[in-house]
Amino acid sequence: MRDSLAQVKLNEEERYRLLVDAITDYAIYMLDPSGRISSWNPGAQRFKGYRTEEILGHHFSRFYTEEDRAVELPARALRVAQTEGRFENEGWRVRKDGSRFWAHVIIDPIWSPSGDLLGFAKVTRDLTERKRAEIELKKSEQQFQMLVQGVSDYAIFMLDPDGYVSNWNLGAQRIKGYRAEEIVGSHFSRFYTEEDRAAGVPERGLETARREGRFEKEGIRQRKDGSHFWAHVVIDAIRDETGSLIGFAKVTRDITEKVEAQKALNQAREDLFQAQKMEAIGQLTGGIAHDFNNLLMAVLGSLEILKKRMPEDPSLVPLLDNAMQGAERGVALVQRMLTYSRKQNLNMTAVGVPQVIADMMELIPRSIGASISFETNFEEALPPVVTDPVQLETAILNLIVNARDAMPDGGSISVRADAVPGLAGLSPDAAFVRISVSDTGEGMDTETLQHATTPFFTTKGVGKGTGLGLSMVQGLAEQSGGRLLIESTKGKGTTVSLVLPAADADADETPANESLPGTRTCIEHDHARRPLTVLAVDDDALVLMNTTLMLEDLGHTVIEAFNGQAALETLGTAGTVDLVITDHSMPRMTGAELAERINAQWPHLPIILATGYAELPSGNGDQWPKLSKPFSQEQLAEAVALAMHRCPEQKTAAAR
C-alpha cells in the first residue's frame, strides 16, 4: 500500500515536471532560499538563453541589470516575497548574450509543512513587444505633444464634454493671449463676442460637433485684451472605443490678414469695375457729345432764326420759347455729362469761395423756398481755390438744390468752407479748401450712398432729376485736382464736401460773376456789320445750313463746303475770302488739318475751328480760335469779331 502511494506521488511529480517543461512562453524555475537556481524549464532557456547545465547553481541576480543589482533589487525581491508572500514587478532583464528584454516577474515563497522556507518559485514572462509598443506609443504621444505645442500659427486645445478647456498649446497662447494656467478650466465661450454669447453661438457649435462629429465656421473671436480677430474654427468630437463622448478637439486659425486681404481685393475689384464703368461712360459721353451738339446746334440755330423772322404771334411765341428752352436744357445735360467725364474744358483760375456764395445769395432763397433756413460759415483768411468759377457756382447750386429736395417738410442748409491739409490720395504737401453743404434732411442709407455719384442714379423720382448733379460735382472736383466726399446717415442728414486745391497766396482772384474770356461781348453789336465773305465748312448739312443762315442774317456772304478738300478747292477758285469757319470733326481731313494747310498757303486768312467735342485732340488745333457747338448767333458774331482782330487781347480766346 505504501509502495502504491509512493508510486502515485512519483507519477504526480512526473506529470508536474512534464507540464512545467512543456511551457515555453513562461520561464518557470526554482530558487533555493539564498536565490540560487535549482530548476530550469525550456521556457526559461528560450527567454534567457542559458541551458540547464549552464545556469543551475548560479544566483538569479545575474538576470538583472547592473543598475538594479546596484540598488539590491534581487535581494529586495526575495525579501518581499518571503515577508509578504508574493513579489510582482516589471522591469528590464538581461539575457545570456547581454541583450535586454522587458519581463513581468512573479516570485512566490515555497514553505515546508513545518513552515520552513524551502525556496522560491519564479515565473517570468517576456513582455518586450508590449513594452516596445508602449514605448513607441509614448514616444508618439510625446512627439505629438511636441508637435502640437510647437505649432504657433494654430490654436490647438481640448475641451471636455461641457466645453471647458483641458489643455492649451503655444499657438493658442499667441493667438488668444492667455497662458495655459490662466485658461485651463475656463469655458471656451469666453473667446466669443458678447453678441455671439448672447445668441448662443458657442453652444450651437458644440451641439453641431456632438451631433455631426464636426463643426466648422469663420467668425469674429475675442482675445484676452478685448481685441477682435477673424478666426477659422474647427471643432471635432472625440469619442472612446464605446462611442461615448469624451471631449472635443478645437483648432482655431487667425485669418484676419486673409480676410482683410480679401476685402482689399474685393474693394480693388469693385474700384476697378467702377473705374471701368465710369471710363466707359466717359468715353461714351465724349463720343456722343459731338453728335448731340450737332443735333442741338441744328435745333437751336433754326429756332433762333425762326424766332427772329416769325411775326409776333402770342399763340406761337410761347411754343417757340418752350422748344428753345427744352433744347437749351439738352445743351446743359450734355455739358453736365462732359463735366462728369472730365472732358469739359475748365477755365482754371483763383476763385474766392465767399464771393461765389455772395454772388449767389439772390438766387439761393428763391431756389430753396421759405420753409428752409440757410446759413454760411467761412473760416477767416480763407485762401481762394483753383477751379472754374462758373462750374463751381453751378456745383454749389446743385448741392444746395439736392439738400432742398432731401427736406420736403423744411429744415436747414448750411454752407461752410475751411482750409484742410492734403487728404489720402491727394498731395500731402498741398493745401486744400473744403466747401461743405450740410442739410438736416432724410439722409441716405448705405446702398444709396454707394451709388450717389453714379451717373443717372437718382432718388428724386421720374422727371425730377437727371441723376448727373453729384456726378458733375465729382467730375469738377477731380478735374480740378480735388475730391468729393459724402457723409450721410439715414434719418440724420447729409454733408457733401467739395475739396479743391488752394491757390497761392499771391494769386489774383477772379470774381465768380465775371464772364470768362470769350463769353463776354468785347465790342458793340455793330462789330460784325462789315460784310465779310465767309467760307463755312461742315460735313453735317443741318449744321452747315444753320451756320450759313446765322452768318447771312448778320450780313455776311457765305460759301459752303462739305469737306476739307472742297474747301481748299473753293479757296483756290473763289477769289477773296475774308474768314474760314470749319468744323473740326470731318472725315479724311479734320478741321485742324485743314487749318494748317490753309495757313501754309494763305497765312493771313483768319480761321475759326468749330467743334461739338469738349476738347480738341492733341496737335496744332489749339492755335486757332475755337467755337464750341452748339453756339448761338451772338456767340458766332463774337467769334467772328475775335477772329477779325476786333479784340486783339482775346485773339485766341474760345467763344462758348
Beta bridge pairs of residue 107: 87, 122
Domain residue limits at 294? 265-340
For residue 514, tell me if it sits in a domain: no
List the CATH number of the domain containing 450.
Answer: 3.30.565.10
Provide the pairing of β-strand 626-628 with 607-611.
parallel
Q: Are residues 243 and 381 in the same domain?
A: no
Q: Are residues 212 and 273 in the same domain?
A: no
For residue 512, tell me if it sits in a domain: no
List the CATH number of the domain containing 177.
Answer: 3.30.450.20
Task: Provide, rounded to the nearest whole percent, the portion of the chain with pLDDT above 70.
Answer: 77
The SS3 assignment for 60 reads helix
Q: Are residues 121 and 155 in the same domain?
A: no
At 427 the pLDDT is 66
The yes-or-no verdict on residue 59 having pLDDT over 90 is yes
Name the CA radius of gyration of the chain, rounded.
Answer: 51
Band (421; pLDDT cuts 50, 70, 90): confident
Q: Are residues 36 and 126 in the same domain?
A: yes
114: cell is 513545518
Band (519; pLDDT cuts 50, 70, 90): very low
93: cell is 532583464
For residues 455 and 468, is the Cβ–Cβ distance under 8 A? yes
Band (579; pLDDT cuts 50, 70, 90): very high
Beta bridge pairs of residue 438: 414, 495
The yes-or-no verdict on residue 148 having pLDDT over 70 is no
For residue 139, tell me if it sits in a domain: no
Task: Provide, rounded to the nearest whole percent, the portion of the chain with pLDDT above 90.
Answer: 27
For residue 137, tell me if it sits in a domain: no
Looking at residues 155-166, what average pLDDT do you find? Answer: 90
Looking at residues 295-317, what average pLDDT do you find? Answer: 78
Q: Which candidate, 399, 473, 469, places its Cα nearest to that of 436?
A: 399
Interaxial angle between packed helices 389-405 and 469-479, expressed in degrees from 0 to 180 and rounded to the nearest 10: 150
CB neighbours (10 Å) of residue 367? Answer: 13
Looking at residues 576-583, what average pLDDT do you find? Answer: 91
Between 524 and 414, residue with greater pLDDT: 414
The yes-or-no verdict on residue 428 having pLDDT over 70 is no
Peptide bond into 311 cis (omega under 30): no
Band (335; pLDDT cuts 50, 70, 90): low
Q: Are residues 17 and 49 in the same domain?
A: yes
Which of 340, 365, 398 is the last residue before a domain boundary?
340
Give residue-wise pLDDT tens across range 471-496: 677 777 877 888 888 888 888 888 98
At 654 the pLDDT is 33
Give residue-wise pLDDT tens across range 69-82: 999 999 999 999 99
Q: Are residues 369 and 486 in the same domain?
A: yes
Q: Are residues 287 and 387 in the same domain?
A: no
Band (513; pLDDT cuts 50, 70, 90): very low
For residue 50, tell me if it sits in a domain: yes
DSSP characters over 238-283? EE-TT--EEEEEEEEEE-HHHHHHHHHHHHHHHHHHHHHHHHHHHH
Band (463; pLDDT cuts 50, 70, 90): very low
Looking at residues 257-270, what average pLDDT do you find? Answer: 85
CA 363 centroid distance within chain: 43
At 512 the pLDDT is 46
The yes-or-no verdict on residue 150 having pLDDT over 60 is no
Q: Which candidate, 532, 531, 521, 471, places its Cα nearest to that of 633?
A: 521
Name the least confident of 308-322, 433-447, 492-506. Answer: 308-322
* H helix runs in 418-521, sequence order: 446-450, 469-479
List the CATH number of the domain containing 310.
Answer: 1.10.287.130
390: cell is 462758373
- Backbone φ, ψ for residue 601 (5° rounding): -95, -35
Looking at residues 328-349, what average pLDDT do you find? Answer: 65
Q: Are residues 353 and 479 in the same domain?
A: yes
At 466 the pLDDT is 43
Q: Could you give the CA distance from residue 238 to residue 248 in angstroms, rounded to a whole number?
A: 5
At 488 the pLDDT is 85
What is the pTM assigned to this prediction? Answer: 0.43
Looking at residues 167-181, what average pLDDT do you find? Answer: 88
At 523 the pLDDT is 38
At 43 the pLDDT is 84
Provide the pairing of β-strand 372-378 with 411-421.
parallel
Which of 227, 254, 281 is the last residue before a domain boundary?
254
The yes-or-no verdict on residue 164 having pLDDT over 90 is yes
For residue 636, tell me if it sits in a domain: yes
Q: Which candidate, 628, 363, 346, places its Cα nearest to that of 472?
A: 346
Q: Could you give the CA distance from residue 172 to residue 359 in angstroms, rounded to a whole number?
A: 66
At 105 the pLDDT is 93
- Backbone φ, ψ for residue 430 (5° rounding): -90, 160
DSSP characters over 510-568? --TTSPPTTTS--S-GGGG-S--EEEEE-S-HHHHHHHHHHHHHTT-EEEEESSHHHHH
Q: Is the dihedral of CA 392, 398, 402, 404 positive or negative?
A: positive
Looking at residues 392-411, what average pLDDT do you find? Answer: 84
Average pLDDT, the chain: 80
The yes-or-no verdict on residue 337 having pLDDT over 80 is no
Band (47; pLDDT cuts 50, 70, 90): confident
Q: Could you give the CA distance from residue 75 to residue 653 in angstroms, rounded to a whole number?
A: 122
At 461 the pLDDT is 44
Q: Are residues 358 and 493 in the same domain?
A: yes
At 88 the pLDDT is 92
Between 252 and 312, residue with greater pLDDT: 252
The yes-or-no verdict on residue 425 having pLDDT over 90 is no
Q: Are residues 309 and 356 in the same domain?
A: no
27's CB contacts (< 8 A; 6+ apart) are: 41, 43, 44, 46, 47, 48, 122, 123, 124, 125, 126
546: cell is 444753320
Q: Are residues 381 and 487 in the same domain?
A: yes
The yes-or-no verdict on residue 188 having pLDDT over 90 is yes
Q: Could you give the CA distance from residue 74 to residue 69 in angstroms, rounded to a whole number?
A: 7
At 300 the pLDDT is 79
609: cell is 475751328
Give the total number of structural domains in the chain.
Answer: 5
At 395 the pLDDT is 82
For residues 250 and 188, is the Cβ–Cβ distance under 8 A? yes
For residue 612, tell me if it sits in a domain: yes
Name the least confident of 99-108, 219-228, 387-396, 546-555. Answer: 387-396
Q: Are residues 462 and 405 in the same domain?
A: yes
Q: Could you give the CA distance from residue 648 to residue 656 in angstroms, rounded to a whole number?
A: 18
Q: Could you give the CA distance from residue 569 to residue 566 in angstroms, rounded to a whole number?
A: 5
List the CATH number of the domain containing 542.
Answer: 3.40.50.2300
Classify residue 185 as left (phi > 0), alpha (psi -120 to 50) or beta: left
Which of 340, 374, 403 is the last residue before a domain boundary?
340
At 648 the pLDDT is 36
